[in-house]
Amino acid sequence: MELTRRGMMQGALAGATAGALGLRAGWARAALELSGATVEVLSDGHLMLPAEFIFGPMPGEELAGVLQPFGMEPAAALTPECNVTLLRKDDMVVLFDAGAGATFQDSAGRLGEALDAAGVAPEEITHVVFTHGHPDHLWGVLDDFDEPFFSGAQHLIGKAEWDYWIDPKTVESIDAGRTAFAVGAQRRLALMEDSMTFFGDGEEILPGVAAHMTPGHTPGHMSFEIRAGNESVMVIGDAIGNHHVAFARPDWLSGSDQDQPMAAATRSALMDRLASEQMRFVGFHLPGGLGRAERDGSSYRFVGENA
């Protein structure tokens, strides 16, 4: 299926803790206090996706049964949230992903307003860390004049992800519906090259922040474990992309992933770890962002924490 901006447009809060942190309902999805650190989930708006973009490869009859408890239909348009993670620790103010910016979808690109509600100016951000290079995570890195939106920040991206998007051959080899993704990523990353720092799997990229390779959604997709004292939370980007079928059947192939079998294997392994360790995590497209995974027989369920 060709996925264009126009086609996607045709597809069709905060809790008490967030209030205590001075966040405005609607922009703040959730907040979590760790030892000496605060993790806040801010809204960049939401996407408009045709159902086929995710459900295309899935078995129709079984899919209907999975979606029924959520009040969803297999053919209905999807409007997943976009949740950007903000970490405040010591003298660091860190964003995980930069949002969609103004040129991807009209329903997204609201991160500037969310930061304003959180009392943070873009120039106060010290680091921007990317999970991957898709438009809703990367395109907000530049302003309307192609200048860095977070002018005082160091920008960090996994080397494998950088290599994939900056390679001119990617535009030719990527699925036709994602050609605009590749063109947009290459242009923005090229403009940001001088301020970009690269890292690999397993590295501590910032004090208390470790990178974990979670490939498949994109070739170099990364998740990040934030640890403070004995507490931790994982920023998982799109490694687990929704709260319904990804939890009920993490082994199913999803149309949203570039390497679908690899992404399913990654998702299954990550889900098992998160459920086993009962580690909180922030998912970019999960309701409210913050939550846990619980086992439900042979599958899982998402337990949100909007507080």
The residue with tokens 């004049």 is 145
Strand partners, 206: 209
Sheet containing 290-296: give its strands across. 204-206, 209-213, 222-228, 231-237, 280-283, 290-296, 299-304
Task: Kindly state the DSSP code that residue 29 receives in the 8-state scheme.
Answer: E
Q: Would you kindly state where each structural domain of the chain is located, as residue ranges?
A: 5-12+17-304
d(CA 98, CA 108): 12
> Nearest to residue 240, comparing CAs of 289, 203, 202?
289
Amino acid at residue number 238 = D
CB 301 within 8 A of CB 293: yes
Q: Which CATH architecture has domain 5-12+17-304?
A: 4-Layer Sandwich (3.60)
Name the 3-class secondary structure at 250: coil
pTM here?
Answer: 0.91
d(CA 12, CA 76): 8
The residue with tokens 């907040």 is 31
CB 161 within 8 A of CB 218: yes
Predicted confidence pLDDT, tens digits, the chain (307 residues)? 334 433 343 333 333 333 333 334 455 667 899 988 999 999 999 999 999 999 999 998 899 999 999 999 999 999 999 999 999 999 999 999 999 999 999 999 999 999 999 999 999 999 999 999 999 999 999 999 999 999 999 999 999 999 999 999 999 999 999 999 999 999 999 999 999 999 999 999 999 999 999 999 999 999 999 999 889 999 999 999 999 999 999 999 999 999 999 999 999 999 999 999 999 999 999 999 999 999 999 899 999 986 4
First to last CA, the chain: 38
CA–chain centroid gap for 306, Å, is 17
User: Two tokens at 259?
Assistant: 């390497």
Name the 3-class secondary structure at 49: strand
